[in-house]
Each structure stands twice: as C-alpha cells, then as structure tokens.
Amino acid sequence: MSDWETVIGLEVHVQLKTASKIFSGAATDYGSEPNTQACAVDIALPGVLPVMNQEAARMAVVFGLAIGAKINQRSIFARKNYFYPDMPKNYQISQYDQPICDGGEVEIEMEGSSRNVMGEHRKVQLTRIHLEEDVGKLTHLENESLVDYNRAGTPLIEIVSEPDLYSPDEAFAYLTALRNCLIAAGISECDMEKGQMRCDANVSIRPRDTTELGTKVEIKNLNTISGVRNGIAYEIQRQTRAMQNNHPILQEPRRWNADEGYTTSMRSKEMAHDYRYFPDPDLMPVKVSKNWLDNLTKDLPELPFDKQRRYMEDYDLPYTITSVLCPDPKLAAYFEEALAIYDKPKQIANFIANDLLRDLSAAGEHGSLPLEECKVRPAHIAELVQLIDKGDISSQIAKEVFFEMFETGKAPGQIVEEKGLKQSTDTDELEAICNEVITSNPKPVEEFKAGKEPAINALKGQVMKATRGKANPRIIDELLRKLLKG
Ligand code: ADP
Ligand code: MG
C-alpha cells in the first residue's frame, strides 16, 4: 500500500431536459443549425430580462429530494462575472451563497458483487446542488473561431460532492451511480457524448492516516466517465512523484489530454479569476412552498439501488440480472408491465435480460435499438412464458418464437399457430411414434432394459427428431418408460 492517500471531490454539471431554456422561451433541442435556438435573452441583447423556468427548479428539487438533500425554501441567483466569447452577457447566471439544495448523499457500489449477492455499498456526501445556465459552444479552426449560442441558457444543475472519494474506482462508481439516479429521477438523459453530463475532478493526496487535506488540483471539463477515472489516476501518480521529490504541488486547474494520457497546467493570467459574485437584480428569489414539496415528495422515483434490493428480495432474482434491469427505468418498467400480466419474475426477467437485450443490441445502428422502438411488447413476453408453462411450446421452440416476435412484432400465440409449432400432446399419435422408435432402435432399448438408464436419451432424441421438436419432452419420457416396461 502506498504511503499516500488520495482524496477526490467532484463537481458535476448536468443538463436538465426541460423543453425550453432556464431564463428564456428558446428551445433546448440538440443538433439544430448553429444559432437558430438563441433568442434575444440568450445572446444578451440590450433591454431584455430573464424569466425563471419553473420546470428547471422542479427538476432540481425532485433530484434533491430523491437523494436526501435539504431543499432551501428560498434560494437566489447570482452573477458570476468573467469575460469569454462563449458568454455574451459577460456574466453567467448561477447560484452562489444561497443554492437551491444543501447536502444529500449518493449511494455507490464498491467491489465484491457476485452472481447472487450485492457487493459492499456506501454513501458519498454531497455539499450542495445549484442551478445555473450553460454557455455557448466555441469551435476553433486554424485562423478563426466559430461560436454557436444554441446551448447558451440551457438549464444545468451543478452537483458538488464533499472530498469524500478515495480512489479513481470510487470516482467512477460515484459517477455511474449519480448518472443512474439522475436518469431514474427523469431529469436528464446524461448522454455524455452530447455534453449532457460534464465533470471537474478535484484531486489531492496526503500522507496516509492523516486528516488534513492536501493541496488540490482541479482537472477541468472531463466528458467521459473513463476520462475521469484515467485523469485522476494520472494525477495521483504525478502528485505522488512530486511529493516524493519534495516538489510543491500547485493549486491550479489542469487539462486532461485523453489521447496522450496526461494532464497539463491551464494556469495563465486569464485563469486567475475573481468572479465578483453578486445577487442578480433581474431575477426573483426561487421560493419553494411546503405544499409544492409535499406534492413532489409523494411521487418521488425509486432509486436504482433501492429497486435492485426490492427485486432481489421480492422476486428472488439474482444480482446479475437485477443489475441489468434496475439502472434503466424504462427497462424496469417494461419488466414490471410484463410481470403484472403473468407473475413469473424469473422467466420474464431472463427473456428481457438475455434474449431481448441481445436482439436490441444487434438491431441498433449506433448502439442498441431504443426499447420504445422495439416491436416486442411486455404483454408478448408474458404470453410467451405462459405458452411454455402451459406446455404448448418447449423452451427451445420459445427461442425460435422470440426471434420471430422480434422481427415481426406478432404475438407469440399467433406465431405458434401460423408456423404449426405447438407441441404435440396428442398421446395416441406420440405413442405410435414411440413404438416405431423402439422397434427400429433395438440397441439402446436393450441397454436400457439391462439397467443403463441414460440409453433412454437416444430414444427420446429419435422421437424429437420424428416430431421435429414439437413433442412435449415430459410426455415422451412418460410414454417411453411405460412402453419399455410393458
Ligand atoms: P474552490 O473554492 O476551489 O471552488 P471548493 O471548496 O468549493 O473549492 O471545492 C470544490 C470541490 O473540490 C468540491 O467538490 C470539494 O469536495 C473538492 N475539494 C476541496 N478541497 C479538496 C481537496 N483538498 N482535495 C480534493 N478535493 C477537494
Ligand atoms: Mg467552489
């Protein structure tokens, strides 16, 4: 074990999925022509005034409640002053000393999970959550730079953690858990490729078994979860080497260079900020009434790890399957919809986690086909499991039926009917086939009668072949044994 302990605190910016911007009525859609979604407020034309979007506040409060933060009855907006061409007002509207939420905690999963058992969990403490607006986007070309203000004014929450993470893997686990909670709360898609979740990682080291915090370095604007893990891992090495050589660690922002795998200092005169925060005189305080809080508290979403514990306990599902179903609220709702129709959690969960997800991932052009575009509906899965249970089809044939369901969207019953896949339970017909197989296969018959039990499998295989897999295996077994005895 190293003589040094790592301490990490993360500042995570998350885009809220409101239809319009936080202080204007402009749309927030992604991927539109540059500067087609920036209205007078977003580009700060003289004389315009911002108006707070209530939906953004609702989303921040829902998330705060879900993770046990204190919701402040009154919070205010502040101006964060600096000059940069991606921000036409020359100040960003944010919250400073009176944010919308204080505290809260996010449950993370550490190591030690196995097929059936959930691993060790713990809660990471948060400092605060505040609302703010996003800025525009700069694209630097060889001799010029382009600016797109479509993103300016998009609502963000910034989630600030305490220095309560102690390794790159924990930071990774935290971001994964945070993302799953935000998605479950229905307030962001957290698509990092679209910049909907971005992270600054504060990293310091200190001698092991001491409590005072070391000097921190802030790695700015990490936009992948693995970038966060790798950037922090690099910083730990760099800082440890500096300490061992008695070089001071400078408190500074650094940039993570993902392609080369190292961080570089961003320190410059321009970076030495004094933001001169002051309350924004154009905006009213955000007031959260008791009544509103009570209403929001009533339909809070279930957090993914709570759902997972419930699924493991109530449905006796293994850890591995629940950890596929629970992080995705749409998939979990799909499962519960099928379950409401036919109460066989294990079989239904298996079809969803194995067959359905496999086919969705094979059908997608970029990543998986979205669940809402899938032709197989929860009722179809419930019916399929029912057909197996009734003995109409074997699990083997069910796989074939599923393939057809996925391609055509037809109900499994209809497919079984149309393709003549129903298992034969006509005992007379089956008995005739069994007799034929017994007559034409004297060797296994003799062996079975001499006490060699497995020899019956050869006979079963022949019957299956003769019925093209449509005979019910249980009935074949019974019939063969009866005929061989007689
Ligand atoms: P600043 O004043 O530089 O913005 P803050 O105290 O507001 O610093 O903290 C910003 C983030 O940095 C928080 O997530 C916090 O947990 C984290 N942080 C603060 N000090 C340290 C430290 N010594 N090591 C690691 N993370 C830290
Ligand atoms: Mg700070």
Strands (E), 149-291: 155-161, 197-207, 217-222, 253-257, 262-265, 278-279, 286-287
Q: What is the pLDDT of residues 271-310, one digit of tens each?
A: 557 899 999 999 999 999 999 999 999 999 999 999 999 9
**What distance separates the 2 farthest-apart alpha carbons in the chain?**
100
Q: Which atom of ligand 1 is nearest to the CA of 164?
A: 16
Residue 105 CB–ligand 1 contact under 6 Å: no
Residue 239 CB–ligand 1 contact under 6 Å: no
Residue type (1 letter), 168: P
Residue 95 CB–ligand 1 contact under 6 Å: no
Residue 216 CB–ligand 1 contact under 6 Å: yes
Exposure string (b/e) for 362-395, b if CB count within 10 Å is 16 or more? eeeeeebbebeebebebebbbbbbbbbeeebbbe
| Model pLDDT, residue 413 | 95
Residue 76 CB–ligand 1 contact under 6 Å: no
Pick the ligand that lies closest to the CA of residue 10. 1
Q: How far, in Å, from the CA of 159 to the mean position of ligand 2? A: 11
What is the best residue among 178, 216, 243 to mutate for testing ligand 1's pocket, by most ligand atoms within 8 Å of CB?
216
| Model pLDDT, residue 468 | 79
| Model pLDDT, residue 464 | 87
Q: How far, in Å, from the CA of 57 to the mean position of ligand 2? A: 21
Residue 214 CB–ligand 1 contact under 6 Å: yes
Q: Which of 74-78, 137-141, 390-394, 412-416 has the lowest mean pLDDT?
A: 390-394
Q: How far, in Å, from the CA of 286 to the mean position of ligand 2? A: 21
Question: Rounded CA gap, 119 and 116, in Å?
Answer: 10
Residue minimizing CA distance to atom 15 of ligand 1:
9
Q: 430 pLDDT band (50/70/90 cuts)? A: confident
The structure's pTM equals 0.88
Q: How far, in Å, from the CA of 189 to the mean position of ligand 2? A: 25
Highest mean pLDDT out of 107-111, 160-164, 256-260: 160-164
Q: How far, in Å, from the CA of 102 to the mean position of ligand 1? A: 15
Calculate the average pLDDT of the chain: 94
Question: Rounded CA gap, 270 and 266, in Å?
Answer: 10
Q: 253 pLDDT band (50/70/90 cuts)? A: very high
Residue 94 CB–ligand 1 contact under 6 Å: no
Burial class of 298 by CB neighbour count within 10 A (0 to 12, 13 to 18, 19+): exposed
Q: How far, in Å, from the CA of 165 to the mean position of ligand 1? A: 12
**Which token pair is 301?**
């979403």
* Residue appearing with tokens 């959260």: 288
Q: How far, in Å, from the CA of 216 to the mean position of ligand 2? A: 12
- Who wins on pLDDT, 471 or 460? 460
| Model pLDDT, residue 272 | 59
Residue 161 CB–ligand 1 contact under 6 Å: yes
Q: Which atom of ligand 1 is nearest to the CA of 162?
A: 16
